[in-house]
């Protein structure tokens, strides 16, 4: 099994090794070495990348048998290595340093939640952009978050040392580990001087000050747990810079300073809600006017008294179609077949309805229209008195044909369906 150089020196960027053998991983060639500075994905920390000789290393995997394989971004027949060949490896340092900051920061933050709130970390994930840890509570307060964040950053300000060493199982009772280890034998301990003790095989900074800063961004309740999203070091700085740029542009655009920005945005939001309400009320009045005109232009069936109204108002969304359909059907004896084709969104929308005094079920008509498109994206549903659906299409002729089929079905099946209510 390979000697894991990163376990004793996380700052080692390059190394020399001998080839033990070649294999493949997901169709790519992979090399096994007698020692490696490349960290494999483990414990929530992503793998290193870099170069071995001239070949890019895109993934590093520790197999179930304990061997570490280095996946190369090249074709198998281009790798000339034989067992015992000497190779030189270089770890891509910006990625390694980022992971060191994030993983070390997670240790600090998890210990801070224990110290400030008595909350244990259940799981950890370090992604390419942000990090999360899950806490065993669904009742995390803002005060809890701030207390843990303050404690974590105080550890950084104190620049506490990270001490890494190995102990045997027999030595564990004397070490106040935050969490029991999952392995036995020689246990690698990551100690933050006077602050935390954890069993961990990952890469870490030399002292807490090298983490730079820890910033909690959000805490989302997930049942009986809470997921905390945070960034450390360079990531936290980049994110803060991006936020500052956005806030600056908003302030400039609204001609207000930072202290007044929230008030101005809240005022604009309230004004927008008020205007949207007024617009909805105006649209409803207009649609009621449209409904009256449609009814006035549509003669009733001489035998049944039913008016079957087919209308295709342009640029109407489903809410507008429903509003129009309901306005039409406030009058007795109405069957409404409404559709609107959006060429911008390449989608046809349908809303079919009938008055309360009719026993017609409009759902079969909707099914007939949607079925005319023979597309799995055509979906809809509803009740006997109002059904709605949509289909992906930009074909105006197909749209009109689907509505005509529905209208023909309604006329053919609605004879004698007027009932007294």
Beta bridge partners of 392: 347
CATH number for the domain including 378? 3.10.310.40
Instruction: Tell which residue, 370, 419, 368, 366, has the closest CA to residue 393.
Output: 370
Residue at 255 is within a domain? no
- Name the CA dihedral angle for 7, 10, 15, 20, rounded to a multiple of 10 degrees: 30
Q: How many CB atoms lie within 10 A of CB 130?
A: 17
Do 358 and 319 lie in a common domain?
yes
Do 159 and 243 lie in a common domain?
yes
- How far apart CA 351 and CA 335 sit, in angstroms, is 11
Do 39 and 165 lie in a common domain?
no
CATH number for the domain including 218? 3.30.980.10
Question: What is the helix (H) or strand (E) element at residue 411, kind and residue range?
Answer: helix 396-413
**Can you say whether the dihedral through the CA atoms of 92, 93, 98, 103 is positive or negative?**
positive
- Return the percent helix, strand and coil in the chain, to nearest 5: 35, 30, 35
**Residue where one domain finishes, among candidates 91, 123, 141:** 91
pLDDT for the residue 421: 30
Do 72 and 120 lie in a common domain?
no
Residue at 270 is within a domain? no
pTM listed for this prediction: 0.73
Residue at 420 is within a domain? no
pLDDT for the residue 31: 96
**Residue where one domain finishes, among candidates 36, 61, 91:** 91
177-193 as b/e: b if 16+ CB within 10 A:
eeeebeeeeebbbbbbe
- Name the CA dihedral angle for 278, 283, 289, 290, rounded to a multiple of 10 degrees: 180
pLDDT for the residue 415: 55
**Residue where one domain finishes, among candidates 61, 91, 121:** 91
Token readout for 413 is 């099946």
pLDDT for the residue 419: 36
The radius of gyration computed from the CA coordinates of the chain, to the nearest angstrom, equals 33
Do 68 and 190 lie in a common domain?
no
pLDDT in tens, the chain (421 residues): 899 999 999 999 999 999 999 999 999 999 999 999 999 998 889 999 999 999 999 999 999 998 999 999 998 888 999 999 999 999 999 999 999 999 999 999 999 999 999 999 999 999 999 999 999 999 999 999 999 999 999 999 999 999 999 999 888 888 999 988 888 888 999 999 999 999 999 999 999 999 999 999 999 999 999 999 999 999 999 999 999 899 889 888 888 888 888 888 999 999 999 999 999 889 889 999 999 999 999 888 888 889 989 888 887 889 999 999 999 999 999 999 999 988 777 889 999 999 999 988 999 999 999 988 878 888 999 999 999 999 998 888 888 888 888 888 887 877 544 332 3
Instruction: Tell which residue, 187, 182, 196, 12, has the closest CA to residue 103.
Output: 196
Do 204 and 224 lie in a common domain?
yes
Residue at 274 is within a domain? no
For the chain, the maximum distance between any two Cα atoms, rounded to a whole number of angstroms, is: 97
Do 189 and 304 lie in a common domain?
no
Domain that holds residue 326: 280-413
Do 340 and 363 lie in a common domain?
yes
CATH number for the domain including 21? 2.40.30.130
- How far apart CA 105 and CA 273 sit, in angstroms, is 42
Do 409 and 348 lie in a common domain?
yes
Q: How many CB atoms lie within 10 A of CB 276?
A: 10
Residue at 258 is within a domain? no
Do 238 and 145 lie in a common domain?
yes
Contacts of 273-277 with C-beta under 8 Å, sequence gap 24+, read none
If one counts the domains in the chain, the total is 3
Residue at 23 is within a domain? yes
Do 325 and 220 lie in a common domain?
no
- Name the CA dihedral angle for 138, 139, 142, 143, rounded to a multiple of 10 degrees: -130
Residue at 385 is within a domain? yes
- How far apart CA 264 and CA 266 sit, in angstroms, is 5
Do 121 and 199 lie in a common domain?
yes
pLDDT for the residue 254: 87
Strand, coil or helix: what is 244?
helix
């Amino acid at each position: 099994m390979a000697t894991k150089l990163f376990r004793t020196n996380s700052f080692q960027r390059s190394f020399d090794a001998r080839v033990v053998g070649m294999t493949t991983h997901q169709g790519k060639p992979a090399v096994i070495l007698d020692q490696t500075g490349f960290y494999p994905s483990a414990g929530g920390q992503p793998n290193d990348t870099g170069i071995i000789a001239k070949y890019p290393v895109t993934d590093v995997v520790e197999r179930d048998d304990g061997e570490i394989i280095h996946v190369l971004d090249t074709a198998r027949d281009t790798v000339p290595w034989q067992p015992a060949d000497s190779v030189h490896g270089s770890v891509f340092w910006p990625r390694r340093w980022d992971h060191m900051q994030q993983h070390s920061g997670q240790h600090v933050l998890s210990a801070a939640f224990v110290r400030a709130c008595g909350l244990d970390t259940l799981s950890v994930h370090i992604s390419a952009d942000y990090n999360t840890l899950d806490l065993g509570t669904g009742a995390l307060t803002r005060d809890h978050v701030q207390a843990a964040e303050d404690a974590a950053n105080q550890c950084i300000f104190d620049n506490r040392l990270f001490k890494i060493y190995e102990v045997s199982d027999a030595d564990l009772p004397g070490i106040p580990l935050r969490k029991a280890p999952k392995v036995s034998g020689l246990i690698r301990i990551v100690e933050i001087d006077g602050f935390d003790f954890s069993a961990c095989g990952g890469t870490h900074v030399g002292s807490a000050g090298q983490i730079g800063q820890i910033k909690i961004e959000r805490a989302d309740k997930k049942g009986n747990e809470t997921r905390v999203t945070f960034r450390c070091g360079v990531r936290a700085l980049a994110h803060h810079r991006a936020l500052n740029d956005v806030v600056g542009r908003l302030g400039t655009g609204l001609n207000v300073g930072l202290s007044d920005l929230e008030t101005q945005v809240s005022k604009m939001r309230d004004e927008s809600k008020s205007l949207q309400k007024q617009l909805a009320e105006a649209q409803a009045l207009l649609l009621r006017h449209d409904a009256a005109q449609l009814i006035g232009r549509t003669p009733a069936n001489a035998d049944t008294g039913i008016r079957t109204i087919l209308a295709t108002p342009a640029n109407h969304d489903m809410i507008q179609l429903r509003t129009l359909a309901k306005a039409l059907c406030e009058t007795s004896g109405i069957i409404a077949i409404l559709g609107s084709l959006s060429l911008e969104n390449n989608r046809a929308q349908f809303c079919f309805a009938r008055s309360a005094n009719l026993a017609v079920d409009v759902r079969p008509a909707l099914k007939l229209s949607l079925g005319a498109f023979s597309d799995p994206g055509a979906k809809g549903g509803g009740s006997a008195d109002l059904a709605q659906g949509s289909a992906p299409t930009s074909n105006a002729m197909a749209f009109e044909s689907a509505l005509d089929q529905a209208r023909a079905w309604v006329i053919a099946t609605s004879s004698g369906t007027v009932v007294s209510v």
